[in-house]
Amino acid sequence: MKITNIQFGLVKAPLKTPFKTAVRSVDYVEDTVVIVETDTGNRGYGTAPATALITGDTHGSIQAAIKHQIGPLLMGLEIENLNKCVGIIQSSMINNTSAKAALEIAVYDLFGQLYRQPLYKLLGGGEPALSTDVTISVDYIDKMVADSLSAVEAGFETLKIKVGKDIGLDIDRIKAIYSAVEGRALIRLDANQGWTAKQAVYALGQLESSGVKLELVEQPVKAYDFDGMRYITERVSTPVMADESAFSPKQVLELIRTRAADIINIKLMKTGGLSNAIKIADIAQIHDVECMIGCMLESSVGIAAAAHLAVAKAGVIRKIDLDVPSLVEFDPVSSNVVFSGPEIALQDTPGLGIECIENLQMIEA
C-alpha cells in the first residue's frame, strides 16, 4: 500500500450555542480535511482546525505546509513502514503541528486499514468505551448555571467550566455552578491562560476555603510561564493541569521534572499527531503522572483518532475531554467511533472506519 496522492477539503458544522473562552468566541466547527490516497484504492482521513491563537495554524498554512513541504516527501512510501512515514512528517519542518497531526492521523488510519484492525488494537488494545466531560462556555452566571444543569440532565457527570475573563466574577461563577450541581457532577476548571499566577492562587484559595471541590484547574497562566505553573501547583490543593504548556515530549519532561503540573493534557493538534502523543503518554506513565485526552474545537475525525489513543493508553489517560460531537448541531462524520452524549463507543472496523464526511467541499489542488 503506497502513498500516491494527497487531496484537501473543508468540512463545517454549526455549534448549538457559541463556544466562548477567555481568548475567543466561535460559532461553528471548520476543519481542513486531508485525504491520503494509495495505489490500492484505500484512502486515509485526517483533519485539523485553524487555531491561530493556540498552535499558530490557519487553514491556509496547514494546506500549504502539506502541499508544498511535507506531502511531496511522502509520495511512494509504503504505509507498512509507519515509522519512516511518521519520521518524515515530524522532521520535514519545525512547528506546524496541526498540519503534521492531520497527516499522521490519515497515515495511521491507513495503517489500520492495511492490517484490517481498528486503530486502538494496533496501539495496544483496551476496552473500547469512554465517557467524556462537556464544556460550559464562559457567559453570564445564570446562563452558565442553566447550561450546567442541562448538561447534567443530559447525562454528563463531569463539567469543564470555562473561566479566565474576570477573577472576581470567575469565583462567583464557579460557586454558583458548584452549588447547583453539587453531588451530581464533578467540576473541572479551565482558565485558558486567563489568570496570573497570583490571581490563580487567590481564586483557588477562595474556592477551596468556601468548600468548592474542583477535580482540576487547567492552564491558569500563559503557556510559556512554567514558573507560574509551578508557583500555583506548590500553593493550592486543587490539581493543576498543563494544556498549552504541553506541546512536545520535551516540554512534558520539563513540566514533570520541575513539578510544575500534576496532570498533562494531550491534544493531537499540539503534539503533531499520534506518534508524539504516544511518547507523552509513555513518559507520563513512567513518572506516574496522570493524563487527559483533549481536543480542539474540531471535527470528529481527529477526535476519533484521539479516542482510539485513549482506549489504548487507558492506564495513564484517565480523563476524557472529547465533547465536540455533543456541541455541534449535527456531526458530518461517520466513523467507527460513535458519540452519544457522554458515551463514546469504538467499533471494530479497520483504521478509523471513516465511511463518509457529509458536506465535504473539496479544494482544487
User: Whole-angstrom Cα distance, residue 79 to residue 244?
Assistant: 31
- Identified catalytic residue from 100, 121, 165, 267: 267
Cross-strand partners of 241:
218, 263
User: What grid cell was written down for 96?
Assistant: 506546524
Distances, alpha carbon 227 to alpha carbons 112, 194, 265, 276, 283, in Å:
41, 16, 18, 24, 21
**Mean pLDDT computed over 172-176:** 97
Instruction: Read off the pLDDT band of 24 (50, 70, 90).
Output: confident
Instruction: Read off the pLDDT band of 121 (50, 70, 90).
Output: very high
Query: For 72-88, what is each residue's pLDDT tens digit?
Result: 999 999 999 999 999 99
User: Whole-angstrom Cα distance, residue 113 to residue 85?
Assistant: 16
Type of residue found at 306: A
pTM: 0.96
Average pLDDT, the chain: 96
CATH-assigned architecture of domain 3-116+358-363 = 2-Layer Sandwich (3.30)
**Mean pLDDT computed over 229-240:** 98
121 part of the active site = no
Q: Is the predicted pLDDT of residue 145 greater than 70, yes or no? A: yes
**Mean pLDDT computed over 129-135:** 98
User: Whole-angstrom Cα distance, residue 167 to residue 190?
Assistant: 13
User: What grid cell was written down for 225?
Assistant: 510561564
Query: For 86-102, what is each residue's pLDDT tens digit?
Result: 999 999 999 999 999 99
Residue 293, Cα to own-chain centre: how many angstroms?
A: 6
267 part of the active site = yes
**What is 121-356's CATH number?**
3.20.20.120
Predicted pLDDT at 170: 95
Q: Is the predicted pLDDT of residue 117 greater than 90, yes or no? A: yes
Instruction: Read off the pLDDT band of 254 (50, 70, 90).
Output: very high
Task: For residue 65, count other CB atoms closer than 10 A to its CB.
Answer: 21
Predicted pLDDT at 173: 96
**Mean pLDDT computed over 250-278:** 98
DSSP E strand stretches across 260-312: 263-266, 290-293
User: Whole-angstrom Cα distance, residue 96 to residue 103?
Assistant: 11
Query: For 31-61, what is each residue's pLDDT tens digit?
Result: 999 999 999 999 999 999 999 989 999 999 9
Instruction: Read off the pLDDT band of 364 (50, 70, 90).
Output: confident
Where are the chain's structural domains? 3-116+358-363, 121-356
Type of residue found at 275: S
- Identified catalytic residue from 20, 121, 160, 162: 162
Order across the sheet with 43-49: list the strands: 43-49, 25-38, 3-20, 361-363
Across 24-28, 324-328, 353-357, least confident range: 24-28
The widest CA-to-CA distance across the chain, in whole angstroms, is 63
Angle at CA 166, nearest 5°, toward 326 and 251? 65
Q: Is the predicted pLDDT of residue 23 greater than 80, yes or no? A: no
Predicted pLDDT at 365: 62
Query: For 285-339, what is each residue's pLDDT tens digit?
Result: 999 999 999 999 999 999 999 999 999 999 999 999 999 999 999 999 999 999 9
Type of residue found at 313: K
**Mean pLDDT computed over 22-27:** 80
